[in-house]
Amino acid sequence: MAVTGAARHRVGRAHLLSVALVIQLVLFRPSVAAGFHDPGRVFGFFTIAAGIDVLGIRLAAAGHPLATGILVGVAAAVWLALTYGVHAAAELGAVRSGWPLA
């Protein structure tokens, strides 16, 4: 199936947001790293996985199963990395501060 104009527009926006995320990681690495240790900011990173899933659902509705499968795999990888990364960062922060987690 051909990609419709609306789906192409959404995919274009996703590319733009991906480029913006990479630029943020490169230029503001200390701030991004600090976000993993800040309980008020850390869960905002999960919106990356949610956004990828939303785009995948839209492409599935437009009849693009391959693109949907790829995006589901990417979203699952991001979600797993964040899930374990957030807990690891919290545990390391607790160890450094001297407070036990359990």
Tally of structural domains, the chain: 1
Q: Residue 42 falls within a domain, yes or no?
A: yes
- Give the pLDDT of residue 5: 63
Q: Residue 102 falls within a domain, yes or no?
A: no
Q: Residue 52 falls within a domain, yes or no?
A: yes
Pairwise CA distance, residues 98 & 25, whole Å: 29
Domain that holds residue 57: 5-97
Q: Residue 23 falls within a domain, yes or no?
A: yes
pLDDT averaged per 10 residues in sequence order, the chain, 102 residues: 60 77 88 80 87 89 91 92 82 59 50
| Overall pTM > 0.85 | no
Q: Residue 54 falls within a domain, yes or no?
A: yes
- Give the pLDDT of residue 8: 64
Q: Residue 28 falls within a domain, yes or no?
A: yes
Q: Residue 65 falls within a domain, yes or no?
A: yes
- Give the pLDDT of residue 10: 63
